[in-house]
Amino acid sequence: LVHPQNEDYFGNVNTISPRGVYDEAKRFQESITMAYHRFHGLETRIARIFNTYGPRMRLNDGRVIPAFMGQALRGEDLTVFGDGKQTRSFCYVDDQVEGIYRLLLSDYSLPVNIGNPGEISILEFAEEIIKLTGTNQKITFKPLPQDDPLQRQPDISKAREVLGWDPKVGRQEGMKTTFEYFKSLSKEELDKREHRDFSKRNTY
């Protein structure tokens, strides 16, 4: 409910929704980590990872970037859930890794957001991907999954201040590299379907 989201926000999660176990598991990990830190004096770090992408993502695990890329390359319509006005902020994997690595080497034990604040609506993102892939695909609308967060953008002031970290790779560059990867997959790989759908996974 807080936008952009800082580390002091306690979150707003439906415990009994289809993604409740996933959401609460992430929250519990932070609780148990702080308990070990406080009670046992263990050195710990808590990275709050926002949407991340890059080459070698799993193609059909339900996340939006592989889903749209796969659809574009197979010549299918891009499936936007809801009206597509919900937003996400996508961080390129190299930036994400650098942020986590710097956090590891720091001595900061409270949560730190690691993500790219560049926010975009899913509908605009679908249009961007159609342009990038040059595929001329259409967009079709499907129902919005239950409890799909409507807005997500990290406030990364803390990471800037504590880690001297800022994402370096913009969406255009990152998506280009990511598309090169998906383009290099064989037709068999593109057609492979997974049995599990991990699409509803984020807490924050």
Catalytic annotation, residues: 22
Q: Please count the other Cβ atoms lying within 10 Å of the Cβ belonging to residue 40.
A: 8
Q: Which stretch binds ligand UDP (CB under 6 A): 62-70, 128-136, 163-171, 178-186?
A: 62-70
Interface with ligand UDP, residue 81, by CB under 6 A: yes
Nearer to ligand UDP, 81 or 181 (CB): 81
Interface with ligand UDP, residue 73, by CB under 6 A: no
**How far apart are CB 41 and ligand UDP at their closest, in Å?**
34
Interface residue with ligand UDP among 22, 93, 148, 151 (CB under 6 A) is 148
**How far apart are CB 199 and ligand UDP at their closest, in Å?**
4
Concatenate the DSSP letters of all residues of 87-146 into one string. Answer: EEE-EEHHHHHHHHHHHHHS---SEEEES---EEEHHHHHHHHHHHHT----EEEEPPPT
Q: Please count the other Cβ atoms lying within 10 Å of the Cβ belonging to residue 3.
A: 13
Q: Is the Cα torsion angle 178, 127, 68, 89 positive or negative in sign?
A: positive
Interface residue with ligand UDP among 23, 52, 54, 67 (CB under 6 A) is 67
Interface residue with ligand UDP among 48, 60, 63, 112 (CB under 6 A) is 63
Peptide bond before 149: cis, by omega within 30 degrees of 0? no
Residue count, binding to ligand UDP (CB under 6 A): 17
Within residues 114-143, the interface with ligand UDP by CB under 6 A covers 122
SS3 of residue 158 by DSSP: helix
Taking alpha carbons only, the member of 70, 69, 68 closest to residue 84 is 68
Cα gap 113→9, rounded to integer Å: 11
Q: Which residues bind ligand UDP (CB under 6 A)?
A: 51, 62-64, 67, 79-81, 86, 88, 122, 145, 148, 199-202
